[in-house]
Structure 1
Amino acid sequence: MATSATAVENGGEEVSGVEIQLEQVSKRYPGQQHPAVENFSMVVPAGKIVIFVGPSGCGKTTTMRMINRLIEPTSGKITIGGKDALSLNPDQLRRTIGYAIQQAGLFPHFTVGQNIAVVPGLLGWTKQKISSRVDEMMDLVGLDPAQFRDRYPRQLSGGQQQRVGVARALAADPPVLLMDEPFGAVDPITRGNLQDELLRLQTDLKKTIVFVTHDFSEAVKLGDKIAVLGDRSTILQYDTPDAILANPANDTVAGFVGAGASLKQLTLLRVRDIDYSDEGLITVTKGDSPADVRKRLTDARKTYGLVLDNRRRPLSWVHVRDLAAAGSLEAVARPIGDSVSTQSTLQDALEAILTEGGRAVVTGPRGEYVGGVDIETVMDTVRQLRAEHGDDA
């Protein structure tokens, strides 16, 4: 992907995000005794993911929406990349800030391609540039443009809709991305996959992301820093995930962390940090003959083979006993229940392994097969963490 025009050097690392500063920002609604947000001050570092986590009604979404002025602050100052956000035209400001919400918020009468093209169109991009950008963004979030570009939102799964929502938010290459519980309405497996996708994208894009959630596990997985908020967006603790897990600032923060903090350390470790070699796993391509695959499995004394497509992405499992009379691999394919990426946490890996019966498939940056991880590898890590931190589970 092309580097954003807003790319800057930050600590020796090129990022396309910019710093956000909120100074004594408050929001008061008429007729309310107390402000919804009171004297909120924070620096969001350029190119990092900062998570707002807290109970419902604490003001976290209101605080985030004041950044792009979907909600106008009553008082205070907000700067984005050194520019006073409150002095800019609100519509122009929002076109430079990506925004992704729960259930995607797609225009139902627009196709996928038209949804992604909305902001570039408002910015006056040429049709050719917009078309190229739409294809680029769809490929970036793992949706084949030829297959999905002309579909309507109702023809997509919940997870696919959320991917389109993220693609639309990033289409104009904004330095800042605001995300309001974007994965809260999908099933747990899809949610984990979308979280992995966001982390993969962020590795490449280095945007400044403010992400609202009520799920502390999601905050630990995604955040470079976490802001635990109380009533009126009072900052109870603003620190890295590992620091908050190790030393909650008070009893309220400790309540968010919950029991088993040492096991939550699994959320800080990624699959890429452990051995996910493919030793012992037989991979085949979807065009292979069942007889050839059966012979390979039999010679290797293996029960299952993993079927890959022509881009080496996992498709399905095949069992050796089903291959003798099969006309094709597709005819006897068994679905992959759950998989993980190198960006997934060890907690995700453990859940996938239990779902898959002892071993989970691992995919790389573009969904390609790179190996597998088994229960023993994860449990060795758990035992090591418990030895280091004590068993508080």
Structure 2
Amino acid sequence: MSVEKSTPDNGISGVEIVLDHVSKTYPGQSEPAVADVSLTIPAGEFVVFVGPSGSGKTTTMRMINRLIEPTSGTITIGGRDALSIDPNKLRQSIGYAIQQGGLFPHMTVAQNIAVVPKLLKWDRKRIADRVEELLDTVGLDSAEFADRFPRQLSGGQQQRVGVARALAADPPVLLMDEPFGAVDPITRGLLQDELMQIQAEVRKTIVFVTHDFSEAVKLGDKIAVLGQRSSVLQYDSPEAILANPADETVAGFIGQGASLQQLNLLKVRDIDLEQRPTAHENDSVAEFAARIGNDWGIILDARDRPVRWTDRKHLAGVSSLRGIGLPVGELVSTSSTLQDALEAILAERNASAVVTAARGRYHGVVTIETLIETIRSLREQHEDDPAIFEPDPSESPT
């Protein structure tokens, strides 16, 4: 039997995970790698294990799906003792994503995603439909990517396929071991945004391992800051940890940039967006030019994804919108943080960034004026709470 899941009225499809006095000691070692960890991970929440290298965070996570067997203690998943479930059945019911995707090089993208559904004996049509659905979910066109091999993909594309494979059998639990650690910073930010968009829809229970505290703040509903042998130094919301680190060790791990981390607590979806005129490539040039006026607009592809921005100068004397304008540059999503938005805006000539929603569809535009006003308003709201948005003393003028 596997871990059963349900989807109640609140939309949560994940299940609770409880670690109760869990330890792991490897043969021949006098000291445990993980010592007496107790932790409850709520159903449908995104929990991040963060800590320095060698702290045992990956070992702790791998004990959940029994890739590593605990020496003592119990782990329950959805109310069932993990040790009472056949290990293979357990792993088939838990999604697992690792760094660089972990894809099978001799299999196509579609075959990689279909691995667990085939083990579960799904019929061909159901598997094909699921592969197409998941490729769309992670922003890859099925017609273009399904028959490619991993070597034909970029690092970011491999990670997208890895996430799709982990979600293939619709598991209630998803374990992720530094999945974005090997990609460049821009791609990493986009993958983080996509993962948050997916989680907003599916509400799995996600356990995510990282050594990057900024990533933990951006992604986690809760963060478990782990010390040596996975001792739980603090387990709370990102807001609470930033405002009140439990001890000097946690404060040191956060670093001196705590005030900047506050920008990672707020999402683009929480602020007001502007709307720009939009058009598809087959639309009328004259009509689009009239709507743009003396400002600028956005050209969308057939799936409503922003591809280029344009103004009246670009439209002068042309008969078609196809190929007109300039690439939109770095996008942000509704799940992006204000820090992401600020970085994207600073890279754009329009002092604004285009915002996408689910499946990369156009959603609006965030401007530098809106961002500044939002931050100013938040500072005023929290002026009586010095732990929130206070200037870092190290950043004060001398």
Using the size of structure 1 for normalisation, the TM-score is 0.92
* Aligned-residue offset at 1:310: 2.1
Q: Which amino acid counterpart does residue 355 of structure 2 have in structure 1?
A: V
Q: For 2:81 and 2:255, how far apart are their aligned partners in 1?
A: 39
The residue that corresponds to 2:150 in the other structure is 153
The residue that corresponds to 1:343 in the other structure is 335
Out of 30, 37, 40, the position equivalent to 1:33 is 30
The residue that corresponds to 1:6 in the other structure is 5
Q: Which amino acid counterpart does residue 264 of structure 2 have in structure 1?
A: T
Alignment of 1:239 onto 2:239: no
| SS of aligned partner of 1:94 | helix
| SS of aligned partner of 2:54 | coil
RMSD, matched Cα? 2.0
The residue that corresponds to 2:391 in the other structure is 391
Q: Which amino acid counterpart does residue 379 of structure 1 have in structure 2?
A: I
Q: Which amino acid counterpart does residue 383 of structure 1 have in structure 2?
A: R
Q: Which runs of 5+ in 1 are unaligned?
A: none
The residue that corresponds to 2:93 in the other structure is 96
Map 1:109-258 onto structure 2 (within 5 A): 109-258=106-255
| SS of aligned partner of 1:51 | strand
Alignment of 1:87 onto 2:81: no
* Aligned-residue offset at 1:269: 1.1
Alignment of 1:106 onto 2:103: yes
Out of 351, 365, 368, the position equivalent to 1:375 is 368
Q: Which amino acid counterpart does residue 366 of structure 2 have in structure 1?
A: V
Given the superposition, is the C-alpha separation of residues 315 and 5 from structure 1 closer, same or farther in structure 2, using an over 3 Å criterion? farther
* Aligned-residue offset at 1:259: 2.4
Alignment of 1:313 onto 2:305: yes
* Aligned-residue offset at 1:374: 0.6
Q: For 1:5 and 1:139, how far apart are their aligned partners in 2?
A: 26
* Aligned-residue offset at 1:289: 6.0
Deviations 1:312-336 (A, max 9, x none): 2101123543444657544444222
* Aligned-residue offset at 1:295: 5.8
Q: For 1:59 and 1:385, how far apart are their aligned partners in 2?
A: 37
Tell me whether 306-315 or 258-267 shows the greater mean CA deviation: 258-267
Alignment of 1:58 onto 2:55: yes
| SS of aligned partner of 1:15 | coil
Tell me whether 50-59 or 380-389 shows the greater mean CA deviation: 380-389
Whether the aligned pair in 1 keeps the contact of 2:11 and 2:202 (CA below 8 Å) is: no
Q: For 2:4 and 2:226, how far apart are their aligned partners in 1?
A: 33
* Aligned-residue offset at 1:127: 1.3
* Aligned-residue offset at 1:282: 3.2
Alignment of 1:70 onto 2:70: no
* Aligned-residue offset at 1:274: 0.7
Whether the aligned pair in 1 keeps the contact of 2:294 and 2:311 (CA below 8 Å) is: no
Whether the aligned pair in 2 keeps the contact of 1:265 and 1:385 (CA below 8 Å) is: no
Q: For 1:107 and 1:333, how far apart are their aligned partners in 2?
A: 40
Deviations 1:132-172 (A, max 9, x none): 21112112222221221111112222222111111110111
Q: For 1:331 and 1:270, how far apart are their aligned partners in 2?
A: 32
Whether the aligned pair in 2 keeps the contact of 1:226 and 1:239 (CA below 8 Å) is: yes
| SS of aligned partner of 1:356 | coil
* Aligned-residue offset at 1:381: 2.3
- State the number of aligned residues: 383
Q: For 1:296 and 1:284, how far apart are their aligned partners in 2?
A: 10
Q: For 1:85 and 1:296, how far apart are their aligned partners in 2?
A: 60
Whether the aligned pair in 2 keeps the contact of 1:262 and 1:385 (CA below 8 Å) is: no
Q: Percent identity?
A: 64
Q: Which amino acid counterpart does residue 147 of structure 1 have in structure 2?
A: E
Whether the aligned pair in 2 keeps the contact of 1:26 and 1:73 (CA below 8 Å) is: yes
Q: Which amino acid counterpart does residue 377 of structure 2 have in structure 1?
A: Q
The residue that corresponds to 1:282 in the other structure is 277
Whether the aligned pair in 2 keeps the contact of 1:277 and 1:370 (CA below 8 Å) is: no
Q: For 1:157 and 1:138, how far apart are their aligned partners in 2?
A: 15
Deviations 1:352-390 (A, max 9, x none): 111113100011222211210111111122233444233
Q: For 1:195 and 1:360, how far apart are their aligned partners in 2?
A: 17
Q: Which amino acid counterpart does residue 294 of structure 2 have in structure 1?
A: R
The residue that corresponds to 2:385 in the other structure is none
| SS of aligned partner of 2:347 | helix
Q: Which amino acid counterpart does residue 329 of structure 2 have in structure 1?
A: G
Alignment of 1:270 onto 2:267: yes
Deviations 1:162-202 (A, max 9, x none): 11111110111111100001111112222111111111111
Q: For 1:382 and 1:20, how far apart are their aligned partners in 2?
A: 36
